Structure 1
Amino acid sequence: MTAPPPSVPPALAATADGWLRRGARCLPCALGRFGTTTLKQEGDGATPLGAWPLRRVFWRPDRLTAPPGLGRSGLPLTALTPDMGWCDDPGHADYNRLVTLPHPAGHEMLWRTDHLYDIVVVLGHNDSPPEPGRGSAIFLHCARPDPSARHGLRPTAGCVALRQSDLLAVLADLPERPTLEVRLR
């Protein structure tokens, strides 16, 4: 797993009570349906605690124009296509990697019928190199509305999620080499 040096302050900080901070801005966010964890395991439904570099941004070109600007971040921006997936099979060499579909191993489709991955930011959790079973597909993505959930946002399978308008605003204001820190407070 990769984390930035402690001297680099996080660009974004998500807290276990469902808030994401960027400077003075505080936005509601959704975390894993089973909270947060220091020891992420594949399929546990928890968001991993730690500071994770933002690696790249994907977006659905049939639903959105390219997200305007990515601040000074220099993050790669890639249009999603229907044949893109993310391997979540701990026993496969492509575990926690972008894959082309069809793919022989277990995977998540990035081209979804819902709007969760209309914008998706890959977080650098368990990717350098991936350790089998330590969690895959940990993203910052669009939240699913749920009036009965905290802040009106449905919990995720282990990712961090924001309202689409908030995610676009955050992406437009990123510094160079941005990180997202998930912490208890």
Structure 2
Amino acid sequence: MHGKLKPKGPALTRLHVRVKSPHSTRGRLVGGGVDLAATIGRSGLSVLKREGDGASPRGGFRIVGGFYRPDRFGSRPRAGILLVPLRPDDGWCDDPSDGNYNRPVRCPYPRSHEAMWRDDHAYDVVLVLDFNLRPRIRGGGSAIFFHLAHADGRPTAGCMALKRADMLKLLPRLSARTTIFFG
């Protein structure tokens, strides 16, 4: 069952991720006429986010950019923010000891990183939230992405995810002024 979303409407400035308890991995993304099923990190919510803990951070975070897989869409998805085409060699550094920690990198990359070009469709659309970007705290957790839900419904590694159809309906109402509040 898909949630409720007004297909057209004003740009959204505030969305909230609501979960039943801090340990829940499933909740709702709500605000401005939006009410959608959302999945978060396998460890639920955390005030003290650490690299690799599987938690989604409590707090409010703006959308600072986004990517899409051009081979999975006939054209760039309609969005209120700029979506940049991903390339097969795109990655994201998650090694706290590396100078590029929590930054995009080109693969192959010699240090620990996450491939952005994935087979599982999770990053067919992926938005970057402004968690631990400026200033970066080493070990404080790398990127918190807003991406597509896994087909099997499993929790994320700390990000937030929506079903593809819900994300595509929501994208036109998002902007660089949209803040997503966890908790």
Indicate conservation of the 8 Å contact 1:11/1:175, yes or no.
Answer: no
CA deviations 1:53-84 (Å, max 9, x no partner) are: 101110000001311131xxxx3320000110
Indicate conservation of the 8 Å contact 2:65/2:128, yes or no.
Answer: yes
Please say if 1:80 is aligned against 2:86.
Answer: yes
Q: Which amino acid aligns with 2:61?
A: W
1:69 aligns with one of 79, 92, 109: 79
TM-score (norm 2): 0.86
**Which residue of the partner structure matches residue 21 of structure 1?**
30
Aligned-residue offset at 1:30: 0.2
Q: Which amino acid aligns with 2:49?
A: K
Indicate conservation of the 8 Å contact 1:55/1:76, yes or no.
Answer: no
Give, in whole Å, the separation in 1 of the partners of 2:41 and 2:49.
11
Q: Which amino acid aligns with 1:34?
A: S
Aligned-residue offset at 1:11: 2.4
Moved more, 11-20 or 93-102: 11-20
Q: Which amino acid aligns with 2:130?
A: G
Give, in whole Å, the separation in 2 of the partners of 1:52 and 1:125.
6
Aligned-residue offset at 1:178: 1.2
The alpha-carbon distance between structure 1 residues 105 and 176, as it changes in their structure 2 partners (threshold 3 A), is closer
1:133 aligns with one of 125, 136, 139: 139
Deviating 4+ runs (over 3 angstroms): none
SS at match of 1:33: coil
Indicate conservation of the 8 Å contact 2:51/2:142, yes or no.
Answer: yes
Give, in whole Å, the separation in 1 of the partners of 2:181 and 2:168.
18
TM-score (norm 1): 0.85
1:92 aligns with one of 78, 91, 98: 98
The alpha-carbon distance between structure 1 residues 114 and 14, as it changes in their structure 2 partners (threshold 3 A), is same
Give, in whole Å, the separation in 2 of the partners of 1:11 and 1:164.
21
Let me know the Cα RMSD of the aligned residues: 1.4
Q: Percent identity?
A: 45
Give, in whole Å, the separation in 1 of the partners of 2:133 and 2:62.
10
Indicate conservation of the 8 Å contact 1:22/1:170, yes or no.
Answer: no
Q: Which amino acid aligns with 1:50?
A: G
More strand by percentage = 2
**Which residue of the partner structure matches residue 54 of structure 1?**
63
Structure 1, unpaired ranges of 5+: 1-8, 147-152
